[in-house]
Structure 1
Amino acid sequence: MDKQLQRDLTKWLKSQSKLAKRWMMFSIGLGFTSGLLLIGQAALLANILHQLIIEHTDKYQLVNQFVGLIVIIGLRALCSWGREVCGYRCGEQIRLHIRQLILNRLQNLGPAYIKGKPAGVWASLVLEQVEEMQDFFARYLPQMSLAVLIPVVILVVVFPLNWAAGLIFLITAPLVPFFMALVGLGAADANRRNFKALQRLSGHFYDRLQGLSTLRLFNRVDAEAENLDAASHVLRKRTMEVLRLAFLSSAVLEFFSAISVAIVAVYFGFAFIGELNFGNYGVPVSLFTGLFVLVLAPEFYQPLRDLGTFYHAKAQAIGAAESIVEFLNIEADEMSNGDTPLPTPNAIHISVTDLEVLSPEGQVLAGPLSFSINTNEHVALVGPSGAGKTSLLNALLGFLPYRGSIKINDIELNQLKHDQWRQAISWVGQNPLLVHGTVRDNITLGNPSASNNDVDQVARQAYADEFIQRLEKGYEHHVGDRSGGLSVGQAQRIAVARAMLQNGAFWLLDEPTASLDANSERLVLESLALAVTNRTTLMVSHRLDQLHAMQRILVMDNGKLVQNGSFETISHQGLLAEMLTHTDKRDLDA
């Protein structure tokens, strides 16, 4: 990874820490207090041993000092507990913020952009990679401050007692961060490669899991298992590379810390036997001084060693932040969300003028288009696959950016409050999505406050109650995004009931009878015919035999609107006539 990029990512990570500055200051303060208590603990312990060994003081006279030692140990344990809690809260608050940034960005980019990558990639980005930042904020950043404050305080205490020991501390201390940085140079790169491998494996596995039935039917299970094995081998290799660097870093830090402590111990050993006579300001080295400094010696290097241990968390966070920052900074045209309320939400009319629908990257997907849909008018949108129908629907829903004009009740779409506009839409798609929850939860998705009577009524109108009553738990039957044991027709009728309960003034129907059997199609069409009465309706359909009931038909081809009129007017000419001819031939062949 480029060093400048590492610096930029580190700067971005530190800028996020300002959101939880209070928790971080609490964590640092408790760590510093624990360091001060440690000095007091070392002093009491050294004094007790000095009194017992050198002064031959009766142990009962030292009861107060023993009690003080126990109290200090308890207070240090309390500080350690508080520091862990504050560090966790700090990381949690920042992680929630970063995750919200990602979700807001995904919402702004819309479903059309999200479908461009496997679902597993987004799951890895939102879950695993954000989680990997926890230790950076909870441990590494507070430890950076403690790695300076605590050694400085120990030096301030040690130098007045023995300048030689203080000088040893001062000279050997930079070795720890120096070798920590030296070993950690490749850690960020290793973590970045690890996260890339994790993203690929997550996306690959999730997509294959969803299409397992298809893979089995085409006898591709073994081949895909080999692909998963290869992807998991790459992830395993990358993970071991990260762990190898982490273990190497810890070993190096422990080695140099041990050498430094040993130098201090050797100095005092020779000082006690009279071989060394410097560093003590002309006063003989006492047992208290030697024990006090020796007890503090490991603790002097401990904050630096902890920083080295948590340096791996920094490398992890930088590796995770690369994909997140890249996603947050992606240049894409977004559908702007205005703040103008939707006027007369109970009666919708739409006017489209010179519309060009754009992809998030700015590519023209359809257009220019010009048409209008009057209040309570029923309009069909037809055309061959790839004509641009889905792009037009995404633009009307506010999921894709556009050029030109889309006016809803004479207000430009990008000036409207999108939440309010979508609340006025009752949508039924060709692939009914049932969220995890009960049948009742799915019906009330757009209107959670609906009463049980309202739910029963729309279920009857959508002909869904006939199978819901046969379920063991009825409306409390649990379903999921794979329909949870319900047939496609049953799931579609639940989707129709859900749209009815929302009771929007604009009905948007995207192939509502696709993949349905004849009986389910009849029931769904009957319920929809009742629901869209006195409602503005736009229906996308490949079933041309359903067009007779529509007041007007829009025909698209290659992103352009090629026909616009009633069925009687345009069915004998142009693309619609060709489509009807092909449909009649297929029916005769059948």
Structure 2
Amino acid sequence: MPTRNESDLWLARQARHGGYWTPLAIVAGSAATLCLFAQAWAIATVVQRMVLDEGRLSELTVPLAVLPLAFIGRGALAWLKSETATRSAIGVRQALRRRLLDHLAQRGPLWARQQHSATLGNRIWDQVDALHGYYADYRPQVWLCLTIPLLILLAVFPLNWAAGAILLATGPLIPLNMAMVGIGAKQRQQAQFLEMTRMNRHFLDTLRGLATLKLFGVSRQQASVVHHVSENFRHRTLRVLRLAFLSSTLLEFFSSLSIALLAIYIGFGYLGYFEFGAWGRGLDLYSGLFILILAPEFYQPLRDLGSHYHARSEAQAAAEDLMPMLADEHAAAPAQADWPVPERLGVHLQGVSCRYAGQRHPALDDIELTLHPGETLAVIGPSGAGKTTLLNLLMGFLSAETGTLTTDAGMPIDRLPREAWHRAIGWVGQQPALLPDSLAENLRLAAPQADERALWNALEAVDLAEWARRLPRGLATPLGEGGQPVSGGQARQISLARAWLRRAPLILLDEPTASLDRDSEARVLRGLARLKRGRTLVVLSHRLELLQLAERILMLDEGRVSALGTLAELSAPGQPLAGLDRPANDEPEPAGDRAHD
């Protein structure tokens, strides 16, 4: 686990993403102090001239005009400080979220599948949001705690060195109090984050299994468990808030005590008991009132820092959780700076073995395979044979432990930029992701710049254009929840249309006809027949109709190649598919088995 110093250094490095907004906030806060000087001068001058000098109203024109301008100036600068500090925090949070999402994309779905989605969501949203107070409030306030008291001391010492000494001596009481409170605040904040993650995970698991809980009649029992978990989080949160309120109370006490001490000195100076501190001139009404007006503002930055100190503890706790996740984001870049995607692409695997983290046995073991450009390869085998692993390897989500994986031109795939390699790949899975958006935007996931004509051509290619024309708003019709219902076959056809639009030379398909009725299956097969022209396809399937589309069939068993050849060769007498006259397995593989395939 990172130490406090490491988390502080990490938080300081992230501040660069805030740009110039943080310096602007510091300048605005410091400039507000200059307006305070003008305000204090105007008030002290008016009182001095009216009470002791018995001046006329005409002599007070300048200070009376300066007073409202100083008020307005302080208000405007306070708004500017708050606005610029907030923009700095937003910039940092947006940059961190981009890095986290990029990191998830680099790790790939295999790594993400091993993480709890509630934990990932908590890190990307809640933990990053927990940094807002640090960059919007605490960090600018640290600098203002240096500039504002220094400016006030420079204004007070020429008038009365004793008052300046009192301010200088009592000021450190507030930071000392913050340091003592901060030790416990960080620990409580970490406990709150842990409880929040636990509550999010439990609530998400409950929602996912709600139908099962209802069927077994235990949903009410689970409601009490959810109540218990949420109560634990409430108690953790209240402990953090209690400490924050206690800290604010102590800060108010010390600052009030310090101001009272200064007021006592000035009062006894007016009574003639204290004759030191005024540089031998005596303490007049103007100087005393000017100093008393500035005194609360001397402690105010320190009090504000104390009230924001819990934001530092919260940010430290969040940083300690985020740092390990981003620790390896700066991996060495591939030697190949860029790679133009070819029109036709083949892949060669030579002695490739790979295994999943924590597994003793390899998921693929000594695979020798040449996938020719424009070829369609069907991959079959029992559950756990390594079919899905082969797709993950080809997509770059899993690295080869031994052996080499190259293009048909001899370029090692692990040396290619991952973004460039992914541009060369099209993907059609069993459960295509559909966004709650229009049909057009769902298609443009594969080709953001595609025009309407290209979208219709893709729909025609996958036998879906007629359905799209019957939609209420055509391509602009929203899909999914709250929009147009989409069947499993139509979702699969939309996924094929994306692959068509992408124009990728290598298409990977995972059981593209699984769980479809005969009519939907026939439509998908017609779309695949058109999609394969000029492209290299790797298809995971047991369906005879799909095997007939393939030039060769690869059979895997326990991660090894058990057979490789054409359908005619493998279905000959004595061969593994001898007598094949129907689909070898009409049922899709269980999701739990596929996760380890």
Same fold (TM over 0.5): yes
Offset of 1:284 from its aligned partner? 3.3
Alignment partners' CA distance in 2, 1:15 and 1:585: 56
Alignment partners' CA distance in 2, 1:220 and 1:394: 38
Q: 1:347 aligns with which of 344, 347, 357?
A: 344
Q: 1:372 aligns with which of 345, 370, 385?
A: 370
Q: Show the counterpart of 1:563.
A: 563
Measured against aligned partners, the alpha-carbon deviations of 1:506-554 in whole angstroms (never above 9, x if no partner) come to 2211110112122211221122122213432110013356424422111
Offset of 1:575 from its aligned partner? 9.7
Offset of 1:342 from its aligned partner? 4.1
Summarize the Cα distance change of 1:334–1:213 in structure 2 as closer, same or farther, 3 Å threshold: farther
Q: Show the counterpart of 2:527.
A: 527
Give the aligned residue type for 1:452.
Answer: E
Alignment partners' CA distance in 2, 1:115 and 1:209: 18
Output the TM-score relative to the length of structure 1. Answer: 0.91
Offset of 1:49 from its aligned partner? 0.8
Alignment partners' CA distance in 2, 1:505 and 1:465: 24
Alignment partners' CA distance in 1, 2:513 and 2:398: 25
Summarize the Cα distance change of 1:21–1:419 in structure 2 as closer, same or farther, 3 Å threshold: closer
Alignment partners' CA distance in 1, 2:424 and 2:329: 31
Offset of 1:86 from its aligned partner? 1.9
Provide the aligned length of Structure 1 versus Structure 2: 584
Measured against aligned partners, the alpha-carbon deviations of 1:334-388 in whole angstroms (never above 9, x if no partner) come to 9958434246x22121111111234467975322211111122221111122222
Q: Show the counterpart of 1:551.
A: 551
Deviates more, 1:488-497 or 1:176-185: 488-497
Summarize the Cα distance change of 1:482–1:203 in structure 2 as closer, same or farther, 3 Å threshold: farther
Measured against aligned partners, the alpha-carbon deviations of 1:309-346 in whole angstroms (never above 9, x if no partner) come to 11111111111111110111259999958434246x22
Measured against aligned partners, the alpha-carbon deviations of 1:218-243 in whole angstroms (never above 9, x if no partner) come to 54533443443333223222221221
Give the aligned residue type for 1:348.
Answer: L
Alignment partners' CA distance in 2, 1:262 and 1:460: 83
Q: 1:187 aligns with which of 176, 185, 188?
A: 185
- Structure 1, unmatched stretches of 5+, are none
Deviates more, 1:473-482 or 1:496-505: 473-482
Alignment partners' CA distance in 2, 1:211 and 1:101: 32
Describe the SS at the equivalent of 1:538. strand
Give the aligned residue type for 2:48.
Answer: H
Give the aligned residue type for 1:14.
Answer: A
Q: Show the counterpart of 2:405.
A: 406
Offset of 1:132 from its aligned partner? 1.6
Alignment partners' CA distance in 2, 1:356 and 1:407: 14
Summarize the Cα distance change of 1:546–1:332 in structure 2 as closer, same or farther, 3 Å threshold: farther
Alignment partners' CA distance in 2, 1:71 and 1:170: 30
Q: RMSD of the alignment, in Å?
A: 2.9
Alignment partners' CA distance in 2, 1:318 and 1:388: 43
Alignment partners' CA distance in 2, 1:282 and 1:527: 98
Q: 1:54 aligns with which of 49, 52, 55?
A: 52
Summarize the Cα distance change of 1:380–1:321 in structure 2 as closer, same or farther, 3 Å threshold: same
Contact 1:349 1:536 in 2 (8 A): yes
The within-5 A match list for 1:165-180 is 165-180=163-178
The within-5 A match list for 1:233-252 is 233-252=231-250
Q: Show the counterpart of 1:427.
A: 427
Measured against aligned partners, the alpha-carbon deviations of 1:23-66 in whole angstroms (never above 9, x if no partner) come to 22222122111112212321221111111111111223201111
Alignment partners' CA distance in 1, 2:391 and 2:434: 21
Q: Show the counterpart of 1:135.
A: 133
Output the TM-score relative to the length of structure 2. Answer: 0.90
- Structure 2, unmatched stretches of 5+, are 588-597
Alignment partners' CA distance in 2, 1:361 and 1:301: 56
Summarize the Cα distance change of 1:351–1:102 in structure 2 as closer, same or farther, 3 Å threshold: same
Q: 1:37 aligns with which of 11, 35, 38?
A: 35
Deviates more, 1:119-128 or 1:334-343: 334-343
Offset of 1:244 from its aligned partner? 1.3
Give the aligned residue type for 1:237.
Answer: H
Alignment partners' CA distance in 1, 2:482 and 2:558: 33
Summarize the Cα distance change of 1:377–1:583 in structure 2 as closer, same or farther, 3 Å threshold: closer
Q: Show the counterpart of 1:146.
A: 144
Q: Show the counterpart of 1:68.
A: 66
Contact 1:250 1:309 in 2 (8 A): yes
Deviates more, 1:549-558 or 1:223-232: 223-232
Contact 1:333 1:361 in 2 (8 A): no
Contact 2:372 2:408 in 1 (8 A): no
Is the aligned partner of 1:418 residue 2:418?
Answer: yes
Summarize the Cα distance change of 1:478–1:270 in structure 2 as closer, same or farther, 3 Å threshold: same
Summarize the Cα distance change of 1:157–1:452 in structure 2 as closer, same or farther, 3 Å threshold: closer
Offset of 1:253 from its aligned partner? 0.5
